[in-house]
Structure 1
Amino acid sequence: MSETESIDSADIRFLLAIRQFGTLAAAARALGLTPSAVSQRLQQLEQRLDTRLVDRSARKLQFSEEGALLCERGVELVAQFDALQEELRMQRRGLVGTLKINAPFGFGRRYLAPVVADFQSENPEVAVTLTLSEQPLTGGAERYDVIVHIGEMRASNLIGHLIAPNARFACASPALIERFGEPQTPEDLARMPCIVLHENETDASLWQFSKGKTRLSVRVPSKLGSNDGDTVRRWACEGRGVILRSEWDVADDLRRGTLRRLLPAWKTPYADVIALTHNRAGLPRRTRDFMQFLQSRFRPLPPWRA
């Protein structure tokens, strides 16, 4: 590549901002520039590279093959460059910079918030933001350094790190079991009221069970549901129905006896707690240290199994 065709990390960050915000006007607001300045800078970059990077004629910006490749590879290069700069700063000042974390509401409030606060206390030069959302993986993953996810993972270019094992249990209150009887097989759930949790765009009323080589899919009857796990759990404790919930959420109720586990001989799909990061090789030191800190708080046993 000749000198006139060269680009630097600022050019890549500029393109990534356009991709993230979707329009030149939105990117201009985020960068603190005028739309005309953004358009002019994009034209100059394309002239230097002698190639079209973004198609502006469509209603929505479309990156060319070259523009998409530059963004895809550029993310890794920028991350490695930032990591190098941070390592240099670390030599003088210790752990510094910003750390952005995304996690589900219930798990984030109960288990992750204390870990994040303790990590920041031990590393006062790191500014940490914890964002809680219903679906952490729905859009905007590039805005976060760490995304905590529970359950199965779809295909993704993110790197998964196991944080803690987590099973799912079918549970009900003692009062509900006394009223309807204890189910002996998953099919028996069809005669009991069930409460469903709407999350991760899954089929909430289709529950999966296995025992040995036997696999069963049961469509449970449900007139009550929510997208909030804490609400679903409280309804179950009140005797309103059977739930299928993560072990981390119902462990305390099982110990207290406000809920009882049903069908213990049958397994349901595991929903391990994992943390997702970007390119493993280019992780900043603060992100690597936080991952180690996070994993140490859930080992050798997570709090719901302690």
Structure 2
Amino acid sequence: MADNINDFHLFTQIVSAGSLTKAAMNLDSSPPAVSRRLAAMEARLGVKLIERNARHFQLTEAGGLLFERAQRILAEIQEAEEEAARHTDRLTGRLRIGAMLQLGRRRLAPDVAHFSEMHPDLQIEFVLSDAPMDIVEDDLDILFKIDVQPSSYVVARKMATSRLVLCATPDYLNRRGRPQKPDDLLEHDCLCLKRGSHVHKRWGVVENGVARDVQVTPRLVCNSGEVLYNWILGGYGIGQKFQWDIQEDLDSGRLEECLPEFEGEGITLYAVYPYRRYQPPKIGAFLDYVTALVKKSQGKGC
């Protein structure tokens, strides 16, 4: 039933937007992801809902009927949830949360487990991946991500700020020397992350008040942030990690920051979730809980 409701929500968003491309932008998703979800819905129902090609987007008769009914159903569900929420503080149902693998494993997983203990009637699914995740295609209630496109159909709640840190083990730096200026990185073994076909080998620094990139030559490349972290920790070279991923290693001395005086621009972590006039209490409760913990953590320098 939850999948049907999510399909109804997606379908009404597509129709209201007037195109798959605009709907994908509004939902902070991609056109292929939205198209696949729509095709799966049509296959499940056994009927064409929207006639679409490069120049044409029109509801079929069945699609028009479903759109009208779906709007009424979603409005009734929203009204019923609002009424129920006024009578209880108990969180129920399913909450599906997505996050980057290392952030999720090292930072969020304990918080998710503790929140589950606080709300035993709530089923939580915690989905982690090094690959880019999609709030529509991955059927998520909340997605923690770095870059967010403005939209009136999704809410992006700022959760934390951090920065990319160039780091290595003291053993590696004792063997190879500590870089004194950004261009010294060109003489080092650099460990790089790959996303899709793109290798992140342009490392941002700020030198003399001017932001610029240093294009390094990777010694090792991987599409897993966890593997990259283990390579850095193993002393194989210098790599880039988010500060929140390695703060404990920096504090303990297992890792050492390189070129801290040339640090690049900061980054922001957002929690993204679909916009609804009535937001399920479980989403707000979880984000309020995590926000409080993040503020406490950042107060300690994470």
TM bucket by the smaller chain?
0.7 to 0.9
Please state if 1:21 is matched with 2:37: yes
Q: Is the 8 A contact 1:173 1:239 kept in 2?
A: yes
Counterpart residue number, 2:19: none
Helix, strand or coil at the partner of 1:167: strand
What displacement does 1:225 show?
Answer: 1.4
Query: In 1, Cα distance between the equivalents of 2:186 and 2:239?
Result: 13
Query: In 2, Cα distance between the equivalents of 1:164 and 1:158?
Result: 18
Counterpart residue number, 1:247: 243
Computing the radius of gyration from Cα coordinates, the structure with the larger value is 1
1:88 alignment partner, one of 53, 65, 83: 83
What displacement does 1:74 show?
Answer: 10
Paired residues in the alignment total 275
Please state if 1:219 is matched with 2:233: no
Alignment of 1:195-274 (within 5 A): 195-199=191-195, 203-211=199-207, 213-274=209-270
Q: Is the 8 A contact 2:11 2:67 kept in 1?
A: no
TM-score, length basis structure 1 = 0.75
Counterpart residue number, 1:101: 97
Q: Percent sequence identity over matched residues?
A: 23
The C-alpha deviation readout for 1:4-45, integer Å capped at 9, x for no partner, is xxxxx999559459966232xx32665xx5x2xx35xx5xxx
Helix, strand or coil at the partner of 1:305: coil
1:110 and 1:200, CA in 2 relative to 1: closer, same or farther beyond 3 A?
A: farther
CA RMSD of aligned residues (A): 3.8
Query: In 2, Cα distance between the equivalents of 1:242 and 1:175?
Result: 11
Counterpart residue number, 1:152: 147
1:288 and 1:82, CA in 2 relative to 1: closer, same or farther beyond 3 A?
A: farther
Please state if 1:165 is matched with 2:161: yes
Q: Is the 8 A contact 2:82 2:278 kept in 1?
A: no
What displacement does 1:204 show?
Answer: 0.5
Q: Is the 8 A contact 1:166 1:272 kept in 2?
A: yes
What displacement does 1:219 show?
Answer: 0.5
The C-alpha deviation readout for 1:32-75, integer Å capped at 9, x for no partner, is x5x2xx35xx5xxxxxxxxxxx116x6x9x74389999999999
Query: In 1, Cα distance between the equivalents of 2:127 and 2:155?
Result: 19
Q: Is the 8 A contact 2:167 2:258 kept in 1?
A: yes
Query: In 2, Cα distance between the equivalents of 1:282 and 1:104?
Result: 27
Q: Is the 8 A contact 2:186 2:217 kept in 1?
A: yes
Query: In 1, Cα distance between the equivalents of 2:163 and 2:254?
Result: 19
Query: In 2, Cα distance between the equivalents of 1:300 and 1:275?
Result: 17
Helix, strand or coil at the partner of 1:177: helix
Q: Is the 8 A contact 1:102 1:148 kept in 2?
A: yes
Q: Where do 5+ consecutive residues of structure 2 fail to align?
A: 15-33
Looking at secondary structure, tell me which structure has more strand per residue: 2
1:297 alignment partner, one of 286, 293, 300: 293
1:178 and 1:252, CA in 2 relative to 1: closer, same or farther beyond 3 A?
A: same
Query: In 2, Cα distance between the equivalents of 1:275 and 1:267?
Result: 25
Alignment of 1:123-138 (within 5 A): 123-138=119-134
1:82 and 1:247, CA in 2 relative to 1: closer, same or farther beyond 3 A?
A: farther
Q: Where do 5+ consecutive residues of structure 1 fail to align?
A: 1-8, 43-53
Counterpart residue number, 1:120: 116
TM-score, length basis structure 2 = 0.76
1:284 and 1:10, CA in 2 relative to 1: closer, same or farther beyond 3 A?
A: closer
Query: In 1, Cα distance between the equivalents of 2:64 and 2:213?
Result: 42
Helix, strand or coil at the partner of 1:166: strand
Query: In 1, Cα distance between the equivalents of 2:224 and 2:71?
Result: 36
Counterpart residue number, 1:190: 186
Query: In 1, Cα distance between the equivalents of 2:283 and 2:277?
Result: 12
Alignment of 1:271-290 (within 5 A): 271-279=267-275, 281-290=277-286
